[in-house]
Amino acid sequence: MKFIYGLCAVAISFGLSACASAPANQGDAPAQSAAVVVPGQDPAATAFEIKIIDADRQVRVVAKPTLAALDFAAYFANPIRLAGKDEKPENYTGKMAGAKIADYPFPMLDSVSGSVPAIAQTAAPVAWEPLSKILYAQTGNDSLSQVLNAVEAVKWDEPDVFRAFQTVSRLWGVPMSDGSVEWWAEVTPAPWTGRSAFYGKLKFVSHGETAEVLNYYLTAEMNADDAMNWARTLSSYWYPTLNTDLEQHTPGDFWPAGSMNQPFAVMRGNPMGKAMWVAFEVPAFRLTEEQIRAKAVADSLAAAGEVVPVNRVLDTDSSFRLQTLASLEGSCPVNAETEKFKTALAQTLAKLPKEQNAWATSGASSAETFLWFRRNANYLLADKITGQDSLHNPLPRLLELKNYLDSIGVQLLVVPVPVKEEIYAERLVAGTPADLCVNPAGREFTREMLAAGLDVLDIYPSLMAAKAGDEPPRFSYQRYDTHWALPGMLAAMEQLASRVTQYAWYADAGAKPGSLNMQETTTLREGDLVAHLPDAEKSKYPADTLPVMKILKGAEPYKGGKNAPILLMGDSFTGVFESVDQKSGGPGSLLAFATGLDVQVLTSWGGGPGVYHRMMKMKKDMQSKRLVIYMMTARDFWQSPMEWDALK
């Protein structure tokens, strides 16, 4: 069956869930458990169990690791996703607060009722957002998503309120004898509406392969590796919205230390300036104490014996840095054109509801519609980057990192990745010349890094040149996402590979050009900006099929090891196409293919400013390194939600 292949690799989507209440303990006291049960539901049909550690930490236990069960455990009543959603919007008036169920404005639902439907007694609930993306990937039909988005987009005659009035918190699929699938939904109003959950059958019915896909989604179990890939993908897709990342944790070990919880993955989120953790546990993935001890011993032996130290000599030639510095002088002046662009962009942002973090602009055709990210736009409006306070100014921290790496004989190369909004400024603000440099503050910061002695690879010119080869709907950056697409990534990696081969130590680093193979393929990616749009607009932007390259070592997907002479570290730009979506096709694999040198990748999905702390825990691995490439989105140079704190 064609839908079975790659089902667990389908991109995780976004959305909102209902809020569940549960008692909280303080500190590391024994966790309390709370089964996810609603009035009228058979406890035997409960999808997962919640163990509350304290107000900020919980573990969700899934009995069988099906994709449906894990998705539901992640989406339903997840406090990371619900943070800030209980506050009443300032412009909410409660115009229809007293409406009876019979008068509810939901024409897409039939049989609207306040009673739990009988189907909830026997069928497992699912989270609609990830399921609808899988159905679209396998059947090419996005109708279910459109209907459910329409449910969540109802504004109760208050269209100016941006925040969702309600979410579809649970969905049940009912296969019929003719092969079709009927759908029942639980709709949970936001707490500030004062309404209770209600239920209804969708007037929409699915046909074709839907029943088969749904059955596989509900029943096929994943192994431990599949589950970790699921957690990694989920964290990567939620990162722009919720500042999520996976904690460094041995799958199946105890967490927190001293507790009886043994999750396979621990997700950290910080959507509102306060960190919180939701861990996922599967009984089959738990390790015995003997296995934990054996793994600790094995890891210790691997750490001690696997890494082969190399004799390193820093390349102190400053000619490349000085040439780059000279090329930046006067290259992006503040003038009437840049001020006109910034004024227009600021006006666009001012018109958006303050909670709306993405918006669309149309092109000459539907294939040229782009989505844009508010944080990226704010970066283009930045003042002097080095004028920020000590927790947000990146320059002292980057210099501190360089001094540390210099002391152990390791080269540092900083690679800021320009935001899509500065590469495609002419599509962002109508009337902007396609070759206009619209980010004087960002370009000045690159100049300041170079002047301070940092080796910086300036890929902005390469990305500006790459867009000349655009063939809609294919561009250098993804239309509905913050990340680059294959053409932009290839342009950057070609320049990066050229720089690596110019280092004086390259000839002695054991390069083996031609040892890897490249394979053309595709991947389906849900744009990470879709979740930031108004609910009524989300269904306009389905997942995109993107061309990618997959790097192979023999017949196996490439992955750099601990003895790699290069460490590529940074944010999601190092991980996209590398450890999620089409794996072994991201910057690390492409760089290894181009240079013939092994490349180890260290990704912090929570943001680039935090990854160097992870590097500091890799002291043994660093003995094999000649070069650390620090690649991250340039937007985190300005008012990053993850602070630039001192090296530890």
Backbone angles phi, psi at 642, to 5 degrees: -100, 115
Cα Rg for the chain, rounded, in angstroms? 25
Q: What is the pLDDT of residue 127?
A: 95
Quickly list H helices, 97-223. 128-139, 143-153, 210-219
Q: d(Cα 539, Cα 233) in Å, to the nearest integer?
A: 21
Instruction: Show the low-confidence residues of the chain (pLDDT under 70).
Output: 1-46, 301-305
Summarize pLDDT for 41-85 with one digit per residue, the tens. 333 334 789 999 999 999 999 999 999 999 999 999 999 999 988
**Contact residues for 328 (Cβ-Cβ < 8 A; gap 6+):** 443, 446, 447, 450, 458
Strand 517-525's sheet: what is its strand order? 517-525, 544-553, 556-557
Summarize pLDDT for 7-50 with one digit per residue, the tens. 333 322 222 222 333 333 333 444 565 544 433 333 333 478 99
Q: What is the pLDDT of residue 303?
A: 60
pTM greater than 0.85 (yes/no):
no
Q: What is the pLDDT of residue 185?
A: 96
Quickly list H helices, 83-223. 128-139, 143-153, 210-219
